[in-house]
Amino acid sequence: MRIKQCSSAKICKNGALGLAVLAVLGVAGQAQAQSALSINTGEVTYADHVAQIITDNCAVCHREGGVGPMQLTNYEQVRPWAPLIQYRVENREMPPYAYDHGIGIQELQGDWRLAQSEIDISTAWVQQGAQEGDWGDRSHPVANLPDPDQWSFAAQFGEPNLVLDSAPIDVPALGNDMWHRPYVMTGLTSDRCIKAIQVKPAGNAKAVVHHANSYVETLNEEGEPEFIQGVKTPSLGINDSFLSPALRFSVFLA
């Protein structure tokens, strides 16, 4: 069957969800601001400048129950990783948002890229010794984030129409990064339009899954799998090596 056009991508009967998964080390993110109050004049400090950047851009993944390989929610957690944070941020490897900075539209919804000023502040902080600074009467900022176990699109679209698990596999404790490409049949018997797809690592897969690219295939008139353009969506990340990761797809349908 050939794919009909509709306002959102369409998932058809006989359709399958595919996923490419990578296990690798990372420091994650999202994007925004810096502290409005500076009491450590003349130096870049965690309390004055960096805590808010980390909270706004990193805690989304690097928190308890998140997909990041370490927690970055206070100075004691952040300080040991300062040199790696500088390296990843300077090279725009983190936050993980692969988008050309010199070509095309730059005003994006959901833009995870740091502003150059945030990169400069973070780099200067590490170069100056990654000092905590004086908090005065302030407390550490806390990210306003949803429960990491909940589906991100649920508030906008309601609960997913489909929740599909891939078969678990074993990941060696030692070795190079590996891509796993599971296919999960949707079980749908009629054509439906897709509003969104989200993928989460299931169970102890959080210990190894770093990135996921989900996509949809359906059978064409010749009975061959055919990739549906426009539904490839980057997902979550973490690292290391563990046993039996499985992935959980949520599909929000019209």
Cα–Cα distance measured from residue 48 to residue 130, given in angstroms and rounded to the nearest whole number: 12
Question: Which pLDDT belongs to residue 247?
Answer: 60
Cα–Cα distance measured from residue 134 to residue 118, given in angstroms and rounded to the nearest whole number: 20
Beta bridge partner(s), residue 213: 20, 234
Question: Which pLDDT belongs to residue 20?
Answer: 39
Chain-centre distance for alpha carbon 107: 20
Cα–Cα distance measured from residue 24 to residue 16, given in angstroms and rounded to the nearest whole number: 26
Cα–Cα distance measured from residue 75 to residue 103, given in angstroms and rounded to the nearest whole number: 36
3-state secondary structure of 139: coil
3-state helix, strand, coil in the chain (%, to 5): 20, 20, 60
Listed by start position, the domains of the chain span 10-23+149-253, 46-127
Question: Which pLDDT belongs to residue 246?
Answer: 56
pLDDT tens-digit profile, the chain (254 residues): 222 223 333 444 445 544 433 333 333 333 333 343 444 456 999 999 999 999 999 999 899 888 788 999 999 999 999 999 999 999 999 998 878 888 888 888 878 899 999 999 999 999 999 999 999 999 999 998 878 778 878 888 888 888 888 878 787 777 777 777 777 888 877 878 888 888 887 777 777 777 777 777 777 788 777 766 544 333 322 233 233 345 666 666 66
Residue 70, classified by CB atoms within 10 Å of its CB into exposed (0-12), middle (13-18) or buried (19+), is buried
Question: Which pLDDT belongs to residue 109?
Answer: 80
